[in-house]
Amino acid sequence: MFGVVFSMIITIKNSKKKIETTQEVGFAFVPDQIRKKSIENGFYINILVVGRRGLGSSTLINNLFCSPIVDKEREDDITFVKNEIFENDIKLTANISTYHLNNLERIKNYIENKLKEYYDMEQSLIKAKVDNKIHVCLYMIPGDKITKEEIELMKEISQMCNFLPIISKTDSYTEEELRYKKQQVLEIFDENDIRTYSPPNTSEVFNFPLAVIASGQIHNINGNLHRGRMYPWGFIDVEAHDTSDLIALRKILIHSYLDDLINKTNQNFYESYRLKRLERESIDENLKAERIKKIKEEIQNIMSEQNDIKNSENLYKRIGQVSIDER
C-alpha cells in the first residue's frame, strides 16, 4: 500500500482564510463527541480534491461549506488553503488541497508526506498535536470516458485514504444517462479494486457514487433565497434531495460521519503506514542513526531553551537587585 517516503520536498501554494458563514452549514449536527471538543478548540477536516479541471471542484467545496474558501483561479498542481469557518461561535478548520493533473507519484508522495509528518511528530520528544493527514479524497468523475491513467490514480489513492467518487454537474444528464454513468463507474471500480468509503452500519441509504449539482448563484424564489441554477424551463435547487446529493455529501463530511472518517484514517491508513515505517527502521541502520540524531538534536534544543530561560531569569534578578541597591 505504502512505499514509505522518507525524504521528499513538495512545493505547494498555501493560503489561509478566516470566514464567518452567511448561510448555515449545520455545525450543530456534528457528532456529540466532536462538538463537545469543538466548543474550546474547534474541529477540523482535511480534504483532498482530485480530478480534471473544469468539473466544478471549487464550486462544490464552496457550496459544501457555504463559504468562498477555494478560488477558481488556482494552479492545476497541488494547492492548499486552510480555512477557519465560524458558525454560531463554533469553529471548523477545513484544510483543502486540490490537484488537477495525473502525476501518480506526485499525489502519492503528497499523501504519504502527510502521514510521515504525523509519524515524525509521534516519535518526537515534543508532541505537537497537529493532524494534517488526509481524511478523505473527493475524486471528481469526468463526464466522458475515464482514462487508464485516471483509473490507476483512483486505485492508488483509494489504498491510501478514504476515497469518495463524485459525479458533478449532474444537471447535464438525463435520469437514464445518470443511472448508466453510475453503473459504469461502479463496474470500473469493481474491475480495478478501487475501494470507496462506506459509512458504518446505518439506516441511512446513500446512492453511491454521489451525484451533485453546485452553483455560485443565490436566487430569490417566491421570497426565499435558494442556491441553485436558473434555466429557461425552471430552477434547480442544489440542496434539494431529489436533484442533488450535496446535502448527503455534507452529512458524510460534517454532520454525521466526520468522526468515522478520522477514525478510519487513523486505524486503517495511518496504522498501516506506521507499521511499515517501524519495520523499515528496525532493519535499516541508516534510519536508526537518523532517528537517534533527531532525538539528540531535540534534546539539545530543549536544553538550549532551558538555558535561555535560566539566563533570562538571572538577568531579571540582577536588574531587580540593581534597582534595590539604587534605592
Domains of the chain: 13-283 (3.40.50.300)
Provide the CB-side half-sphere exposure for 50 (13 A, CA): 29
Which amino acid, one-letter code, is at 78? I
- What mean pLDDT is predicted for residues 51-64? 96
- What mean pLDDT is predicted for residues 12-37? 58
- What is the pLDDT, as a whole number, of residue 191? 98
Range of weakest confidence among 228-232, 250-254, 293-297 = 293-297
Q: What span, in angstroms and rounded, lies between the C-alpha atoms of 253 and 315?
A: 53
Range of weakest confidence among 9-13, 67-71, 300-304 = 9-13
- What mean pLDDT is predicted for residues 76-88? 91
- 27 pLDDT higher than 50: yes
Measured between alpha carbons, how far is residue 311 from residues 161, 299, 302, 305, 316 in Å?
A: 47, 18, 14, 10, 9
Give the whole-number percent of the chain exceeding pLDDT 90. Answer: 52
pLDDT in tens, 197-236: 999 977 777 899 999 999 988 888 888 888 889 988 889 8
pLDDT in tens, 174-205: 999 999 999 999 999 999 999 999 999 777 77
Element (H, E) at 295: helix 285-326
Q: Name the most confidently modeled range: 46-55, 224-233, 239-248, 292-301.
A: 46-55
Q: Which residue has the higher pLDDT, 205 or 262?
A: 262
For 238, the 3-state DSSP assignment is: coil
- What mean pLDDT is predicted for residues 76-96? 90
Q: What span, in angstroms and rounded, lies between the C-alpha atoms of 203 and 208?
A: 15
- What mean pLDDT is predicted for residues 314-319? 56
Could you tell me the sign of the dihedral formed by the alpha carbons of 14, 1, 250, 93, in that order? negative
**What pTM did the predictor assign?**
0.80
- 33 pLDDT higher than 70: no
- 159 pLDDT higher than 70: yes
Range of weakest confidence among 12-16, 45-49, 204-208, 291-295 = 12-16
Could you tell me the sign of the dihedral formed by the alpha carbons of 259, 150, 64, 118, in that order? positive
